[in-house]
């Protein structure tokens, strides 16, 4: 059993507030030979400065930037070291300082966290956060080996060379521990891929059924193909700034809070701990769960939960004054690289208690419109289409998620997803049955950026002011 000391649980106190005012993105494709990574980054940057209704000329916006944080997951995918310098130059930002940030799947969220701290500290007044990934230079199964290099090289990578297998063992344990019906996982794939049908940026939108998901080919039992995200190419960006600059730039600036957590790469090395309680939880809430764990040889976080997500959520909630996430958050973007990671996360971030994640999904509260009641879901998840439906160009992912939450809070879902011209830009036609997925008057949203089997996690809360 390991325990925290008081210093470990100090809540971050930024020296000044930080705001997000704009977002931009490319579309996402499994293969994107038409454009180089710098050109895709330019697409995201152009949308950021030109299409967010900023109150000053785009080139003047660029003239305000004094720091850049770049997210790129894997040099070996790009086959290029120091890609940051190439992108920075291509965007015309020389000689400004930039740093490259790498924390696996959470790279985008970590770039956001670092960008926010440059503004919070006064190091920068206006910071660009931009990420990308190019995963199409190698065949899919070589790509899977590359990703599996994010498992432990000495003790794990050789045991599959396919990341799905490391999640599959978590899925198996979660399923047995909590008696999960695999239809619930399939429902998550159907929901998120369905939401992607309304996004012009989406790589693999689809109107699937639970039966279709479950009949699909198995990648690593119990995970099927439609439960796993795909290789992806693209870029996303957001612009962060100080309070005074935010009001100069935007009529609808959004305040940002971000915090991270981490946990060992090898799931089996995660030693048992007492559950770190969120503001809405009490020790007695988990009496039954601890007893069940004793009976089933269980442990927390074990294979069922992500301790890093819980830690990041704990910090971010205390920073943002979130007392009860299901009441205080109006939407969420989870890191649904696999259906199981989406399901596990609902307990980690306290939208429901640990052990009740399945019931939370079937309650319909994670939908825009609750399919059971027809009323709005309490905290819709992955309206962007998520990683399953829209994208996982890894270095861009956490940034893309936060950008989608920003647009929701600004009431701009339709502007960026419904405009037929944007669809045309990517060689697509807006579907005839396109629907607005704009949440009605949301105040707060959260994006969860997540690496490995939960090795690094950043929770970013955005709040309308």
Residue 343 near other proteins by CB under 8 A = no
Residue of 81, 94, 97, 155 interacting with other proteins (CB under 8 A): 155
Look at residues 267, 432, 284, 396 and name the one whose alpha carbon lies nearest to residue 344: 267
Q: Residue 142: name the closest of 79, 51, 212 by CA.
A: 79
Taking the least distance from each CB to other proteins, the nearer of 171 and 256 is 171
Residues 354-413 within binding reach of other proteins (CB under 8 A): none
Q: Give CA–CA dist 386/166, Å, rounded.
A: 20
Residue 372, token pair as written in the block:
């059971």
Three-state DSSP class for residue 142: helix
Taking the complex as a whole, the smallest distance from the CB of residue 3 to other proteins amounts, in Å, to 9
CA gyration radius, the chain: 20
Q: What are the φ/ψ torsions at residue 103 (nearest 5 degrees)?
A: -140, 55
- List the x/- string, 225-254, binding to other proteins by CB under 8 A: ------------------------------
Distance of closest approach, residue 395 Cβ to other proteins, in angstroms: 20
User: Two tokens at 33?
Assistant: 């030979």
Write down the least CB distance from residue 318 to other proteins, Å: 26
176 is an interface residue for other proteins by CB under 8 A: yes
Residue with tokens 């926010």: 116
* Closer residue to other proteins (CB): 173 or 248: 173
Contact 347, 237 (CB under 8 A): no
Task: Return d(Cα 83, Cα 438) in angstroms, integer.
Answer: 35
Q: Does 2 bind other proteins (CB under 8 A)?
A: yes
Binding residue (CB under 8 A) for other proteins from 18, 20, 128, 168: 168
Count residues contacting other proteins (CB under 8 A)?
Answer: 43
Min separation Cβ 89 and other proteins, Å: 30
Told to check if 145 binds other proteins by CB under 8 A, we report yes
Contact with other proteins (CB under 8 A): which of 35, 36, 86, 173?
Answer: 173
Segments of 290-437 assigned E as strands: 331-333
The gap from C-alpha 402 to its chain's centroid, in whole angstroms, comes to: 7
Gap between the Cα atoms of 279 and 314, Å rounded: 8
Nearer to other proteins, 85 or 160 (CB): 160
438 sits in which H/E element: none
Residue 346 CA to residue 225 CA, distance in Å, equals: 22
Q: 3-class DSSP state for residue 345?
A: helix
Taking the complex as a whole, how short is the minimal distance between the CB of residue 242 and other proteins, in angstroms? 39
8 A C-beta contact, residue 131 and residue 396 = yes
Task: Give yes or no for residue 1 binding other proteins (CB under 8 A).
Answer: yes
Shorter beta-carbon distance to other proteins: residue 75 or 176: 176
Site string for other proteins, 266-305 (x = CB under 8 A): xxxx-x-------------------------x-----x--
**Residue 149 beta carbon to other proteins: minimum distance, rounded to whole angstroms:** 9
Cβ at position 30, least distance to other proteins in Å:
17
Query: Would you give the distance in Å from CA 465 to the centre of its chain?
Result: 22
- What binding mask, one character per residue, do residues 199-228 give for other proteins by CB under 8 A, x or -? ------------------xxxxxxx-----
- E strands, 212-368, are 218-220, 223-224, 233-241, 254-262, 331-333
Residues that bind other proteins (CB under 8 A): 1-2, 139, 141-148, 152-156, 158-162, 165, 168-173, 176, 217-223, 266-269, 271, 297, 303
């Amino acid at each position: 059993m390991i325990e925290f000391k008081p210093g470990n649980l100090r809540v971050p106190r930024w020296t000044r507030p930080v705001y997000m005012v704009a977002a931009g993105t490319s579309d996402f494709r499994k293969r994107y030979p038409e454009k180089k990574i710098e050109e895709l980054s330019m697409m995201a940057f152009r949308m950021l400065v030109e299409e967010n209704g900023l109150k000053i000329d785009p080139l003047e916006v660029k003239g305000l930037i004094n720091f850049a944080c770049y997210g790129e997951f894997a040099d070996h995918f790009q086959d290029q070291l120091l890609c940051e310098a190439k992108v920075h130059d291509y965007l015309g930002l020389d000689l400004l300082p930039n740093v490259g940030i790498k924390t696996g799947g959470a790279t985008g969220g970590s770039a956001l966290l670092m960008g926010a701290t440059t503004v919070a500290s006064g190091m920068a007044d206006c910071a660009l956060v931009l990420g990308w990934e190019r995963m199409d230079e190698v065949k899919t199964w070589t790509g899977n080996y590359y990703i599996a290099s994010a498992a432990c090289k000495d003790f794990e990578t050789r045991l599959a060379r396919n990341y799905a297998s490391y999640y599959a063992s978590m899925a198996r344990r979660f399923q047995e521990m909590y008696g999960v019906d695999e239809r619930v996982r399939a429902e998550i794939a159907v929901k998120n891929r369905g939401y992607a049908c309304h996004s012009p940026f989406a790589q693999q939108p689809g109107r699937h059924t639970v039966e279709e998901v479950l009949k699909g080919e198995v990648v690593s039992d119990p995970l099927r193909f439609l439960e796993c995200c795909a290789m992806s190419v693209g870029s996303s960006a957001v612009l962060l700034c100080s309070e005074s600059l935010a009001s100069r730039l935007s009529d609808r600036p959004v305040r940002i809070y971000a915090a991270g957590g981490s946990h060992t790469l090898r799931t089996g090395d995660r030693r048992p701990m007492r559950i770190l309680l969120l503001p809405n939880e009490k020790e007695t809430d988990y009496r039954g769960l601890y007893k069940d764990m004793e009976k089933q040889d269980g442990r927390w976080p074990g294979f069922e939960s992500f301790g890093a997500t819980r830690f990041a959520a704990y910090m971010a909630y205390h920073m943002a004054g979130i007392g009860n996430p299901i009441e205080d958050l109006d939407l969420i973007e989870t890191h649904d690289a696999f259906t199981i990671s989406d399901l596990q996360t609902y307990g980690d971030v306290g939208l429901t208690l640990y052990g009740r994640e399945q019931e939370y999904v079937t309650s319909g509260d994670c939908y825009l419109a609750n399919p059971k009641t027809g009323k709005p879901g309490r905290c819709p998840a992955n309206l962007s289409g998520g990683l399953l439906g829209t994208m996982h160009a890894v270095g861009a992912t956490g940034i893309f998620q936060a950008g989608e939450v920003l647009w929701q809070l600004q009431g701009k879902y339709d502007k960026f997803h419904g405009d037929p011209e944007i669809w045309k830009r990517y060689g697509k036609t807006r579907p005839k049955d396109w629907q607005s997925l704009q949440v009605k008057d949301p105040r707060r949203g959260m994006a969860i950026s997540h690496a490995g089997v939960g090795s690094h996690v950043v929770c970013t809360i955005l709040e309308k002011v």
